[in-house]
Amino acid sequence: MDKPIALVVEDEYDISLIFARALQAAGYDTEIVRSGDTALTWLRAATPNLVILDLQLPRVPGTKILHYIRTEPRLAETSVIVATAYSNMAAGLQDRADWILIKPVNFGQLRDLAKRFSPNAPGDAD
Amino acid sequence: MNWINQLINVPTIDPDDARRRKLLNIIVLGMFALDVLGIFGIIVVDIIDASPPENITSLYISAITVLAGIVITYLINRYWISWVAGVLFVTLFIIAVSQSDTPAELVQGRAMITFVPAVIIASVVLRPYAAFIVAIVVNVLLLIIGLNAQLEPDPFAVPIFLGIALATWLATRTMERAIGDLRLLNLELEDRVRDRTRELAESLSKTEAILDSTADGIIVFDNTGKATVANPAVSGLLVHRAEEIVGSDFEALMSNAVSTEDKGLISGFLHSQEAPEASVKFQWGKKTLSASAAPVHLESGEEIGTVAVFRDFTREAEIDRMKSTFVSIASHELRTPLNAIMGYTEMLNEGVYGPLTEQQRGAMGRLLANSSHMLGLVNNLLDRARIEAGTIKLNIGDFAPSKLIDGVKGVMDMMAHNKGLELTTNVANDVPSTLQGDWQRLHQILINFANNAIKFTQEGSVNIRIYMHDADHWALAVADTGIGIPEDAQQYIFEPFRQVDDSATREYGGAGLGLSIVKQLVTMMGGWIELESEEGKGSTFIVILPLIPPETEEFTLGETDLAVSDVVHQTETE
């Protein structure tokens, strides 16, 4: 079985590594991008199963990327977990993100959460 | 009627003399009127009556003589010596009276009645003791008349007359004494009033001097809320001049400069009956003011109003705000590396980097416990800062980019000059004349950059400029010809407590917290920071911001989701 693909969109170096490791531990092949424009470029070329999206990104805000994912038909099946430190920004996105995590994000919990979203997971996600 | 007063009053210095002259004038004028009436009467009789009495001519003569006497007396009284007039009058009076009756009638009894007025008048118009003189003169006169007419003198005339004279003298003397006493009392009172007024004026001018020189604004309100006193300093604080405030309704004045909630706060504060809180703070126009109020009590305990003192709190408020911005952002920044530490520790613990020995697992446990503890401390710090100062709010408003730069130049000019550096500023032509943003915080950010630029530059120049980054964004750049930042360090400098290297810290000072705060603020504004730097050549820090700032809801820095972050990780420890 092919491993599912996950994209980490996060500009802070250490946090991006932790996210990636958590998703790897959940069985995903993981890519890291560290800015909004790079994320868009990547998303135009590939179709991930899961995206962890930070909202505070330079040059292109995370909301714009979320919008792109939700309006691009090719990415209809992609799950999005929004990770942010700013809870009031997140509040408005509940209908568009599959899950919202408030930073700081615990490694183990992200891994377990990502497993539930995985297409290889035994049960259903959400 | 004024002309009567003018006729009667004689302006002399001595008030007693004036009184006497006035009294004499009144009597004289009265007589004058009677005499004139008498003359008219005689004329009428003369005309009407077919056979007038024989002595009508003598009546005419005596009436006119009396008139002349009255006029002369008046003139002497008015323009010359009063006692001469008085004596003349009394003499004429006595003569007239003595002619009015027959010697027999006079001596036998009428004298009592007809001469008494002379005694009284003399006593009042001349001196109290004049009563005696006149009494004696009258007695002598009666004696002469009696002897002339070979009549028996009335034995009672002398004692009775002297008795009347005595009574008159006593009365007049008492009256004059009383008047004299009153006069003295009056003078004394006037002196006292003068002294008190002077004291009052002195203390008032002292109080006024105090009010005038106080830098704080002072307004006194009466019980109805009307302002009754305002010192000059209020105009600097409340914009309205002191004259405008006094007498006006304070509620009306507040409406322009004060927000609705603040208005309620102020009203309640000013009109509160119980002991007031120490002070309230509110926004009045562009300034932040702090006000304290206290009731004003009379000695009797009655409350007659409230005195309110206003102080310009803008500087303190700004410092307060900077402090809480600093603490909030610093706490937030501290959590980021802490979370990374905990994340890696977690991963090591979970075996992501390979299996662990028992001992290693134990060490992991300690690491996690301690970093968790530290995270808790930082969260507390953040919570406390948030409680103290509310959330960080951006104050978006219009401002002129040229003013922003000039403000910074004004502050940093001296510093650059002292180091022998050139400080230049520039606003590109295509930048709009007004921009939207939090002017105060942009100012702080620029100061931060300029400060660093000057700090890390030994020779050359620092340039600050504003230009258009693209159609939707404008940019703020601070460029220096300083020591520059090595490439591998460039990603770290926006983290707190990090400077390029420790030697730089020692040489150039500073805790390096400034840049991480700048980064946070810029993020809140919807923008980002770019850095161009080459070691040995110099650095350029660029802040890029959207022309239209993001919607400013209140920005709560990182709600502590304690359930997630404070989980004490279960470890298989010994």
For residues B290 and B425, state if they share a domain: no
- Domains along chain A with CATH numbers: 5-117 (3.40.50.2300)
A47 touches chain B (CB under 8 A): no
For residues B539 and B415, state if they share a domain: yes
For residues B231 and B282, state if they share a domain: yes
H/E run at residue B467: strand B461-468
Residue in A with minimal Cα distance to B570? A108
Give the pLDDT confidence of A83-100 residue by residue, as tens digits.
887 666 666 676 678 888
- Distance from the Cα of A19 to chain B's closest Cα (Å) equals 9
For residues B116 and B177, state if they share a domain: yes
For residues B229 and B374, state if they share a domain: no
Number of domains in chain B: 4
Q: What pTM was estimated for this model as a whole?
A: 0.43
CB within 8 Å: B332 and A85: yes
Give the pLDDT confidence of B516-543 residue by residue, as tens digits.
667 777 887 888 899 999 888 899 999 9
Provide, rounded to the nearest whole percent, the portion of chain A with pLDDT above 90: 39
Q: Is B190 part of any domain?
A: no
Question: What gap in Å lies between CA B90 and CA B156, rounded to an integer?
Answer: 23
For residues B255 and B128, state if they share a domain: no
Q: Is B385 part of any domain?
A: yes
Q: What is the structure's pLDDT at A124?
A: 45
For residues B262 and B306, state if they share a domain: yes
For residues B384 and B416, state if they share a domain: no
Q: Is B551 part of any domain?
A: no
CB within 8 Å: A107 and B346: yes
Q: What is the structure's pLDDT at B298?
A: 79
Question: What is the per-residue burial (b if ≥16 Cβ within 10 Å, else e) of B86-97?
Answer: bbbbbbbbbebb
CB within 8 Å: B557 and A85: yes
Q: Would you say residue A41 has pLDDT above 60?
A: yes
Residue in B with minimal Cα distance to A22? B347
CB within 8 Å: A88 and B523: no
Q: What is the structure's pLDDT at B485?
A: 85
What stretches in chain B show pLDDT beneath 70?
Answer: 52-53, 109-111, 255-257, 260-261, 265, 268-278, 383-393, 492, 494-514, 516-517, 551-574
For residues B286 and B180, state if they share a domain: no
CB within 8 Å: B332 and A105: no
Q: What is the structure's pLDDT at B145?
A: 80
Strand arrangement of the beta sheet that strand A29-33 belongs to: A29-33, A5-9, A50-54, A79-84, A99-102
Q: What is the structure's pLDDT at B292?
A: 82
CB within 8 Å: B350 and A25: yes
Question: What gap in Å lies between CA B296 and CA B286, rounded to an integer?
Answer: 30
CB-defined contacts A:B, below 8 A: 68
Which of A11, A13, A14, A28 to substitute to test the interface with B, most B CBs within 10 Å?
A14
Cβ-nearest to B347 among A15, A21, A56: A21
Q: What are the distances in angstroms from CA B508 to CA B419, B477, B498?
A: 13, 22, 13
Indicate the burial class of B453 (C-beta count within 10 angstroms; 0-12, 13-18, 19 or more).
buried
Domain extent at residue B406: 397-546
Which of B528, B566, B567 to substitute to test the interface with A, most A CBs within 10 Å?
B528
Instruction: For residue B285, give the CATH number of its domain.
Output: 3.30.450.20
Q: Is B127 part of any domain?
A: yes
Q: What is the DSSP code (8-state) at residue B549?
A: P
For residues B86 and B140, state if they share a domain: yes
Residue in B with minimal Cα distance to A109? B564
- Distance from the Cα of B396 to chain A's closest Cα (Å) equals 18
For residues B308 and B355, state if they share a domain: no
Q: Is B196 part of any domain?
A: no
Which of B328, B333, B347, B516 to substitute to test the interface with A, most A CBs within 10 Å?
B347
Question: What is the per-residue burial (b if ≥16 Cβ within 10 Å, else e) of B133-155?
Answer: bbbebbbebbeebbeeeeeeebe
Q: Is B95 part of any domain?
A: yes
Mark residue B162 as left, alpha or beta (left: phi above 0; alpha: psi -120 to 50; beta: remaining): alpha
Which residues of chain B approach chain A closer than 8 Å at the C-beta? 332, 335-340, 342-344, 346-347, 350, 352, 375, 491, 523, 526, 528, 553-559, 561, 564-565, 567, 569
Name the 3-class secondary structure at B131: helix
Residue B497 contacts residue B457 (beta carbons within 8 Å): no
For residues B358 and B443, state if they share a domain: no
Structure tokens that stand for B561 in this block: 């989701």
A14 touches chain B (CB under 8 A): yes
- Distance from the Cα of B561 to chain A's closest Cα (Å) equals 7
Which of B329, B339, B350, B523 to substitute to test the interface with A, most A CBs within 10 Å?
B339
Residue B411 contacts residue B447 (beta carbons within 8 Å): yes
- Structural domain ending residue among the three candidates B312, B338, B366: B312
Number of C-beta neighbours around residue B469 at 10 A:
18
